[in-house]
Structure 1
Amino acid sequence: MAAQVISISNHKGGVGKTTSVVNIGAALHQMGKRILMVDMDPQANLSQSLGIFEPEKSVYTLLRGFCTTEESMHELEMDLFVIPAELDLSGAELELSMEAGREFILKDHLNKVKDQFDFILIDCPPSLGLLTINAFTASNQVYFPLQAQFLATQGLKKLLEVIEKVQQRLNQDLEIGGVFITQFDKRKILNRNVKEAIQKHFGDTLFNTVIRDNVALAEAPSKQTNIFRYNPKSNGAVDYWALAQEVAERSTTKVTS
């Protein structure tokens, strides 16, 4: 059975996209799933969080056709892989702009290995350019991490418009798979009020799990590891484990429905 391909996207920076890809991927892996993570952000925060710096083969060399999909994959441990990014990826949008079918390049490459994985998680850049379009075209679902702050949903209108255009023109199978709240502090009235507003706006699309504000989640990347290895008893580990369980359940429901 082919992998569920999930883009984690929000063109607002600092909402926890990379943290979510790392830790949802790690939790699903611990549940016995075979996982591939793809770093589509030129800042390469996902790659660096996993201890990969200046890789010789990367998503950039893959998109440019300089290596195969298998060659671009770095094995972190058994059944857990990443296709890393590098700074050169920042020039990819311009370099690929004249390519025929440029929106489908990532999809074509991932299709060659989809049958080898249960989940492919794509860390999208904080922009709505060609790299993000490639991620959406390759995906079954998009997940949005949202901070429990007043302006959390303000930028989503443009993102939803882009998704709608991708659905119409490039990928009819793309769905909004879920929304989850990050950096939540129940002691703050604003956080609680924004959570209620997000719940009213998104309804059942909102995951039940809330990712609490947790310093261990910010510290783990400096040790080049995930939250479960860094501090398995932290609120961050508890929350991402619960979120990954919901992801797995929704995926099962989607496959069987």
Structure 2
Amino acid sequence: MTSIPGEPTGAPTDVSRETWDSQDVDTPIGAEAERAVRMMHAAQGQLPRPDRQRVFTIANQKGGVGKTTTAVNIASALALQGMRVLVIDLDPQGNASTALGIEHRPGTASSYEVLLGDIDVGEAVQQSPHNERLFCIPATIDLAGAEIELVSMVAREGRLRTALSELEQYDFDYVFIDCPPSLGLLTINALVAAPEVLIPIQCEYYALEGVGQLLRNIEMVKAHLNPALDVTTVVLTMYDGRTKLADQVAMDVRAHFGDKVLQTVIPRSVKVSEAPGYGMSIIDYDPGSRGAMSYLDASRELAYRGAGGQTR
């Protein structure tokens, strides 16, 4: 296997479970600390590696649905549990790169150069400072002009698939492609490059608005460019259990997508929103929070599902 600079050479560090006095757990801080220890303890039970490299495009042209947040936090949770994970930031805003603590200033080797074929994919890969099994191909502002540059290129919809053809040699278990909130050429390239689509849907009004257009685009890509493409996973985000609306939206999404929807729902959380400001995922920023525990559960559920979205 080809190695990437900085990749781990030994077994993951074992995290021992500490004993907490009941009087400590009775306080809010103690309870959160206890949840953090439970999370780290749960991570010791490493997930089975998939039979093949699983590549997901995370797409939803609607902004603010938790797309990037879901990408980086599920990736971080899987890496915590022993998987080798790569996040490809295909959004010119570079939010996934920021959340993973990855350098993405102008001039940095990025997904822009990979997409145009100027560099090999391995040259753009950076290791996250928070986990030795988590990697990222960052996005820079240069990517904003890629849509225009791609228009005149031959086989413009398949540029990313061609560039990522060498990924198998890097031995990643999971690859997540974080798309911009649009259905332009960048998102089309991501859909052509991956066999699996993960759609985050927020538990709010208008949740399914626009998803129909996304599904139609996915069907077009499947019919003409990528026959292996399928929506395998739907994640409910920003769930607020205090409202009937959240429950109604969740019911509607489950009725529409069936068992492709993860049982785990991601709650609305201030901590999840704060974490990127510190260049961290919620897994690293506050491992004892409800958001972190939810993403850990979602990652485990994802890992135990097959490519067809069925629980093994």
Is the TM value for this pair above 0.5? yes
- Contact between 2:232 and 2:307, CA under 8 Å: does it hold in 1? no
Q: Does 1:114 align with 2:165?
A: no
Residues 199-222 of structure 1, C-alpha deviations (whole Å, 9 max, x = no match): 211111111000001111001101
Q: Does 1:104 align with 2:155?
A: no
- Contact between 2:259 and 2:309, CA under 8 Å: does it hold in 1? no
Residues 84-125 of structure 1, C-alpha deviations (whole Å, 9 max, x = no match): 001110110111111111111111121201242110001011
Write the distance in 2 (CA, Å) between the matches of 1:152 and 1:45: 22
Residue 75 of structure 1 aligns with an amino acid whose one-letter code is Q
Pair 114,130 (structure 1): closer, same or farther in 2 beyond 3 Å: same
Q: Which residue of 1 aligns with 2:94?
A: 44
Q: Which residue of 2 aligns with 1:189?
A: 244
Unaligned runs of 5+ in 1: none
Write the distance in 1 (CA, Å) between the matches of 2:62 and 2:209: 10
Aligned length: 257
Structure 2 length as normaliser, TM-score?
Answer: 0.79
Write the distance in 2 (CA, Å) between the matches of 1:232 and 1:172: 39
Write the distance in 1 (CA, Å) between the matches of 2:283 and 2:108: 28
Write the distance in 2 (CA, Å) between the matches of 1:211 and 1:166: 29
Structure 1 length as normaliser, TM-score?
Answer: 0.95
Q: Does 1:75 align with 2:130?
A: no
Residue aligned with 1:125, SS: coil
Q: Which residue of 1 aligns with 2:139?
A: 85
Q: Which residue of 1 aligns with 2:77?
A: 27
Q: Does 1:129 align with 2:184?
A: yes
- Contact between 2:112 and 2:146, CA under 8 Å: does it hold in 1? yes
Q: Which residue of 1 aligns with 2:276?
A: 221
- Contact between 1:167 and 1:173, CA under 8 Å: does it hold in 2? yes
Residue aligned with 1:146, SS: strand
RMSD: 1.8
After the TM superposition, which parts of structure 1 deviate over 6 Å for at least 4 consecutive aligned residues?
252-257
Larger Rg: 2
Residue 291 of structure 2 aligns with an amino acid whose one-letter code is G
Could you tell me which of 106, 109, 116 is aligned with 1:64?
Answer: 116
Q: CA deviation at 1:53?
A: 3.1
Q: Does 1:146 align with 2:201?
A: yes
Could you tell me which of 104, 108, 113 is aligned with 1:53?
Answer: 104
Q: Which residue of 1 aligns with 2:36?
A: none
Q: How does 1:4-15 map to 2 (within 5 A)?
A: 4-15=54-65
- Contact between 2:158 and 2:189, CA under 8 Å: does it hold in 1? yes
Write the distance in 2 (CA, Å) between the matches of 1:254 and 1:33: 19
Mean Cα deviation higher: 50-59 or 122-131: 50-59
